[in-house]
Amino acid sequence: MSAIFATTWKEAIRKKTFFVMGAVTLLYLIFFAVLLHYYVQTVHDRGLIDSLSNLASHMITQMGLQFSSMLMALLTIMLGAGAISAEVESGVILSIITRPVRRFEYVLGRFFGLAVLSCIYATLLYGLILALESAFQISTVMAMSFSQIAAGWGFYLLIPIAVLCLTVFGSTVLKIVPNGLLIIFIYILGNVGGMVEMVGNYIASKSVTAAGIFISLLSPFNTLFAGMERQLLPSSGIAGELMRGASGLTGSGKPASTVMYIYIAVYMVGFLVWTVRRFNKKDIP
């Protein structure tokens, strides 16, 4: 399995997709730094009162993390969409399964190779976003403790891993492009589910709230982001309460229960096990 892991790692790094997403990430960080510069300058020049300044700081921090998580998920999907199907289509798989490598070792090697790469990218992105805000002395980040940052990082890493579990399973069923498009749609659907649940809570409609929860069960990625958000930006004062009600850019309902997090763990492991079982039964000519 270690050989498959190493090969997967090397292949992913050599792909043009990796370099393109690296360039996009760099552009995003530059844009974010410029935004932070003008925000700090505006607060200083206009002397905004603390409540408005804190609200704006919450919004900027949430926006930075929200779009960075989208970049992270997109890179994971693009790298994992053809994790298995690409080698089956090209016939490369024939030279692998004829060696003394069991099929489940091949699947786990591919998965963990991509998972480690995604986690390294996520860690760098997470650290750079918080470092930029710290450099500009954004109040929300300056108030974070080490334990908050560590807990938020844990939730942040779970997002690409959960996305990858579903993406690798899709690569045993669909070709690269259809699989990638489907996973992107499912990922976006999770954000929609958060909005639907928020609307249901606001209008006190159990049916609308239930629809939002159902969507979140199909696409639990936004739940993990909301968990990270609550670790880093706990509700405090007017700014915290306002942003907690809107829950950033995607909207969400109440904090996820322990049962929901257990479901997400089962969701991830379940798709990975299903991938192994399906590939074991796959007829490869």
- Residue 36 pLDDT > 80, yes or no? yes
Q: Residue 97's pLDDT is what?
A: 67
Mind listing the pLDDT tens digit for each residue in 107-123? 999 999 999 999 999 99
Q: Which long-range contacts (CB under 8 A, 24 or more apart) does 38-41 make?
A: 39/136, 39/138, 40/136, 40/137, 40/138
- Residue 163 pLDDT > 50, yes or no? yes
pTM over 0.85: yes
- Comparing CA positions, the residue from 225, 217, 259, 55 lying closest to residue 154 is 225
The pLDDT-based confidence of 170 (bands split at 50, 70, 90) is very high
Mind listing the pLDDT tens digit for each residue in 231-268? 888 754 444 444 444 444 444 456 778 899 999 999 99
154: domain range? 2-281
Task: Report how many domains make up the chain.
Answer: 1
**Cα 270 to the chain's mean position, in Å?**
18
- Comparing CA positions, the residue from 184, 203, 194 lying closest to residue 260 is 194
Q: Residue 98's pLDDT is what?
A: 65
